[in-house]
Amino acid sequence: MPAAPDAPFEPRTVVVTGGAGFIGSHLADAFAARGCRVLVLDDLSSGRRENVPAGAELHVLDVRSPAAAELVAESGAEMLVHQAAQMDVGRSVADPMFDADVNVRGTLNLLEGARRGAVRQVLFASTGGALYGEQEVFPAPETHPERPVSPYGVSKLAVERYLWFYHHEYGLDAACLRYANVYGERQNPHGEAGVVAIFLHRLLAGEAPTINGDGLQTRDYLHVSDVVAANLAAAGRPGYLVYNVGTGVETSVLALYRELARAAGCHLEAAHGPPRPGEQRRSSIDAGRARRELGLGEPLPLAAGVDRAATWFRDRHAAAAR
State the helix-helix crossing angle for 302-321 and 253-264, rounded to 10 degrees: 50
> Which of 152, 166, 243, 257 is flagged as catalytic?
152
100-137 burial: b if 16+ Cβ within 10 Å, else e: bebbbebbbbbbebbbebbbbbbbbbbbbbbbbbebee
Angle (nearest 5°) at CA 201 between 85 and 190: 30
DSSP secondary-structure letter at 78?
S
CA distance linking residue 159 with residue 154, whole number of Å: 9
Name the 3-class secondary structure at 245: strand
Q: Checking DSSP bridges between strand 173-179 and strand 121-127, what pairing results, if any?
A: parallel
Q: Does residue 170 carry a catalytic annotation? A: no
CA distance linking residue 75 with residue 295, whole number of Å: 31
Angle (nearest 5°) at CA 21 between 100 and 83: 45
E-strand ranges in the chain read 13-17, 37-42, 57-60, 79-82, 121-127, 173-179, 181-183, 210-212, 218-219, 221-223, 240-245, 251-252, 271-273
Angle (nearest 5°) at CA 114 between 168 and 181: 85
Q: Catalytic amino acids?
A: 152
